[in-house]
Structure 1
Amino acid sequence: MEWSRQFKLAVSFSVLLLVMPFTSNAASAQDDLLIPMGHSIGIKMDLSGVFITSDVMIGKDNWLKAGDLIGQLDDVSIGTLKEFEGTLSKKRDQKEIALTVDRDGDKNRIQTDGEALKRLLPFLKDRTEGTGTLTYIDPDKGTYGALGHQIIDSTLKSPPSFKTGAIYLSEIGQIKKSTPGNPGYKISTIVEDEDFLGTIQINGIYGIFGSWNNSYKKVLAEPLQIMHPADVKEGAAEIFTTIKGTEVESFTIEITKVESEQFQISLTDPKLLAATGGILQGMSGSPVIQDGKFVGAVTHMYVDDPKKGAALFLEKMRKGEK
């Protein structure tokens, strides 16, 4: 089912959200406690192979397509960009090299040469990276949830097939403000490249999920009770997010409409609006709190009015862990 028709010109950092009917098990979720976060995170995912990032000609009448997966150079299997470069350096002088690629499940074998493959290097990737906001930690399960939407690789235009991944605490250095018609974004850097917050095990429509690194107790807040969607009401609320450094701050918002699959919000905090101009790319996943309970996570913004957006109920988001 699609988002509400009112979401014209909405920037979506997600794919379609499926309607999940309420069951009797959901009522018990109110008794669960989750820790709301709001920290800015850097995301790194090692892809399941070496992918082509753009349509590119490899030889006469031979085109590689964005999303093609490199399988072999001659009879040598390729799994990483380093392996591709190492194998190519040994074969660079060969007049003919057989390149095997997987395209939508079909294997294609293309005859080319070392120079053509060398020119291919700028169009290859075996890793994807991004930014977002950490939503919650489940202290009982030792798991986390972030973003509230699926990661879509910007060059592959699809959810990346990945082998391993991790999230890292990141520091906000600058902000490009949102203006009507122009979504803003956070400019951040990872604080400790070797020190991860958690591993990524699932990249699904409700967010990214994985195991939490318990050594990061220093960034944990107090756990809150989950609010059932039926109890969410229009009116004052707050979000936890980071707009400078690594400090998580609370900002006032208004819940303007509660729907069956989502709720709509409007930023009202003068400090937040002065710093950001509205919802930013990288702010998705920011926890929403109402009446001291954990409601959900910010996932969308309006392009034409960036002060407004939408959020996913936390109960629904947690289904992504399964």
Structure 2
Amino acid sequence: MNTLLGMSAKADNYEAGKYEIMLFDIFPIKTVSVSVAPTSYVIPSGEAIGVKLYTDGVLVIGSGSVTAQDGSTKEPAKQAGILEGDRIVAVNDIPVSGNAELKQLINSCDGHAVLSVKRGENSLKIPVEAVYSKDTNSYLIGLWVRDSAAGIGTLTFYNPQNSTFAALGHGICDYDTDALLTAHDGSINYCRVKSVKKSENGSPGELLGEFSQKKAGDILLNSEVGIYGNAGSVPDAPLVPVASRFEVEMGLAQILCDIDGSGTNAYNIEITRVSKAAKLSGKSFVFKICDSELLEKTGGIVQGMSGSPVLQNGKLVGAVTHVFVNDASRGYGIFAEN
């Protein structure tokens, strides 16, 4: 139990000040200072969006062999120590912005390339001897690379104070390496859901739709807890407070999403487990869908619903992040405060 010694501020139902911590409400243990963060207000969304992300440099997703002019087979990149998951940001100190530029720079290096590589937190300079290919009549180093990603997701909320948005609830990772893609450029576009491939246990479904050419915002950050950026416009809609993780309860809640192109609708879920851990995690709580309409239309959580806002007791408590592979009616969510 806490005994209040002095009060200096108040926010909502939580008071800031000095508290004396008591054992069994009898023995004082210590005095602590408590501060209260002001409540944030956002506009929950649930809109389906098309996501286009372009990487900073190119991501290595594999290596291969090159057939030289004499017919011999060589693996220049692998032999030089280039690894899957490395990010190539320059060749001979010339910045690389995409696959085509990497190919052009390698072909113009006269067989001698020094790759500037990001490997985790480390920056490396790795010399690679390119091989003049018998098949393409150009210099190659034997790499498979990727410079972009695209897909359908759900917009979580708008922040009208600074005209920003948050979406997905998890980061965009490379399909082959599972590496988080570092954003150089990207956008969210308006998207029309045309149909849904229903989930079955062991086989998650997906939202199927088409991107509009009209941008809804620019992506500034791709992080482990979602994508963030500047919104092109912010809808005139009611604000809701953002709940702290300590306000998330087991029991009834709603998710907002668009599953058939008719617009955002609310569907009932039940939060069945809550972890109060402060660490950033896309698995802050577990929920199950208890809305018969949603289960009938989708079979459960489907790809593209990631980022669907979760509301409880009039507050934004989180967003949908993952589906249980063996039970599509159950999924994970991330706390809104994360």
Cα deviations by residue, 1:148-201 (Å, 9 ceiling, x for unpaired): 112212134211123112111212222221111112222222122xx2222212
* Equivalent position of 2:25 in the other structure: none
Question: Alpha carbons of 1:79 and 1:121: their partners in 2 closer, same or farther (altered >3 Å)?
Answer: farther
Task: Determine if contact 1:178/1:306 at 8 Å carries over to the other structure.
Answer: yes
Query: Counterpart of 2:258 in structure 1: which amino acid?
Result: T
Which of the two has greater strand per residue? 2
Task: Determine if contact 2:191/2:210 at 8 Å carries over to the other structure.
Answer: yes
* Equivalent position of 2:14 in the other structure: none
CA distance in 2, matches of 1:307, 1:297: 16
Over alpha carbons, which structure has the higher Rg? 2
TM-score normalized by the length of structure 2: 0.73
1:98 correspondence with 2:112: yes
- Shift in Å, 1:49: 2.0
RMSD: 2.8
- Shift in Å, 1:65: 4.3
CA distance in 2, matches of 1:240, 1:138: 17
1:67 correspondence with 2:88: no
Question: Alpha carbons of 1:280 and 1:107: their partners in 2 closer, same or farther (altered >3 Å)?
Answer: same
- Shift in Å, 1:70: 6.6
CA distance in 1, matches of 2:160, 2:49: 19
CA distance in 2, matches of 1:226, 1:211: 19
Which of the two has greater helix per residue? 1
Query: Counterpart of 1:141 in structure 2: which amino acid?
Result: N
* Equivalent position of 2:258 in the other structure: 242
- Shift in Å, 1:61: 4.1
CA distance in 2, matches of 1:67, 1:295: 34
Question: Alpha carbons of 1:304 and 1:242: their partners in 2 closer, same or farther (altered >3 Å)?
Answer: same
Question: Alpha carbons of 1:136 and 1:271: their partners in 2 closer, same or farther (altered >3 Å)?
Answer: same
CA distance in 1, matches of 2:143, 2:194: 28
Identity over aligned pairs, percent: 30
Query: Counterpart of 1:313 in structure 2: which amino acid?
Result: F
CA distance in 2, matches of 1:311, 1:276: 18
Cα deviations by residue, 1:49-105 (Å, 9 ceiling, x for unpaired): 234332212352433643342733x8976433343455678x6xx9x6334434532
1:40 correspondence with 2:44: no
Q: 3-state SS of the aligned residue for 1:53?
A: strand
CA distance in 2, matches of 1:200, 1:264: 28
Structure 2: runs of 5+ lacking an equivalent: 1-33, 67-72, 278-283
Bigger relative contact order, structure 1 or 2, given CA contacts below 8 A and separation 6+? 1
Cα deviations by residue, 1:115-136 (Å, 9 ceiling, x for unpaired): 2758889933322223321101
CA distance in 2, matches of 1:70, 1:209: 23
- Residue among 55, 59, 74 paired with 2:63: 55
Cα deviations by residue, 1:260-291 (Å, 9 ceiling, x for unpaired): 14222110111110111111122111011122
Structure 1 segment 225-304 matched on structure 2, within 5 A: 225-245=241-261, 247-261=263-277, 262-304=284-326
TM-score normalized by the length of structure 1: 0.77
Task: Determine if contact 1:136/1:287 at 8 Å carries over to the other structure.
Answer: yes
Question: Alpha carbons of 1:221 and 1:56: their partners in 2 closer, same or farther (altered >3 Å)?
Answer: farther
Structure 1 segment 1-322 matched on structure 2, within 5 A: 24-26=35-37, 28-29=38-39, 32-58=40-66, 59-62=73-76, 63=78, 65-68=83-86, 69=88, 71-72=90-91, 78-84=96-102, 97-103=111-117, 104=119, 105-114=124-133, 115=136, 123-192=144-213, 195-214=214-233, 217=235, 221-245=237-261, 247-261=263-277, 262-315=284-337, 317=338
Number of equivalent positions? 281
Structure 1: runs of 5+ lacking an equivalent: 1-22, 318-322
